[in-house]
Amino acid sequence: MKKRRSMPSADAPNATLTLLGQSRTAYPTAPDEARLEAFPNRHPLRDYWITFDCPEFTALCPITGQPDFGHIVIRYVPNKLCVESKALKLYLFSFRNHGTFHEEVVNRILDDLVKAVRPRRAIVRGDFNRRGGIAIAVEASYP
């Protein structure tokens, strides 16, 4: 599965949503295999915040291969498109067996969100569980 960015048309606003309504869910094994799908924002003239809360985020330490657990919160003000939540869930799940540093994962999520939906504003925060006695919190924003 490659990431693609298709703009939903006014005639078929949900035509690019391929993950919803499937009887079987294919779980991507890496972020490069996942895709963020989107649907048209029905209130594009209004600024409003959308918040996604993922309290059970998991990735792997790129050095030790040990699991890292964290809490990811994504907040954004949509422009023309909104992120579809099942696609986001599968995208976040794709980090489960992916080696990455905390700082890298938060910035990657923000970059991929911006590429997928071009929000007016966005903030991604990751609060990661303690390892070696130190908890790490990372926050990245757009623009």
Q: Can you read off the two tokens belonging to residue 138?
A: 């990372």
CA distances from 75 to 62, 119, 135 (A): 26, 10, 22
Asked about 61 being catalytic, the answer comes back as yes
Catalytic position from the list 61, 111, 112, 127: 61
Asked about 68 being catalytic, the answer comes back as yes
Catalytic position from the list 68, 111, 112, 127: 68
- The catalytic residues are 61, 68
